[in-house]
Amino acid sequence: MNGRRYLFSGNVQGVGFRYTTQRIASRFAVVGFVRNLSDGRVELVVEGNDAEIDAFASEVKLALSQNIEGVSTDRLPATGQFDSFSIRH
């Protein structure tokens, strides 16, 4: 299991980004969370195998492409602390 952190910028808050991301996550073997940041970006932390993470992230980017202006990605060690995918507030 591996982890990744994505930071999305653009028109990504107040447009259903977190809900859409959670809905997409339900179709993949991934766990983690998505949340709004105070600086206007959205943070996505996800754990799973690389193929599932890649497919999930590609779906998110495709579904929300009209809202995303930039994405940064960092690899993280998997923590095993998540048992589902959730929206954090």
**pLDDT tens digits, residue range 25-84?**
999 999 999 999 999 999 999 999 999 999 999 999 999 999 999 999 999 999 999 999
pLDDT of residue 12: 98
Q: Is 36 a catalytic residue?
A: yes
Output DSSP code: residue 15. S
Catalytic one among 2, 5, 36, 49?
36
Give the SS3 label for residue 9: strand
pLDDT of residue 82: 98
Q: Is 4 a catalytic residue?
A: no
pLDDT of residue 54: 98
pLDDT interval class at 22 (50, 70, 90): very high
* CA pair distance 36, 22, nearest whole angstrom: 13
CB 69 within 8 A of CB 17: no
Tell me if the pTM is above 0.75.
yes
Catalytic one among 4, 18, 41, 67?
18
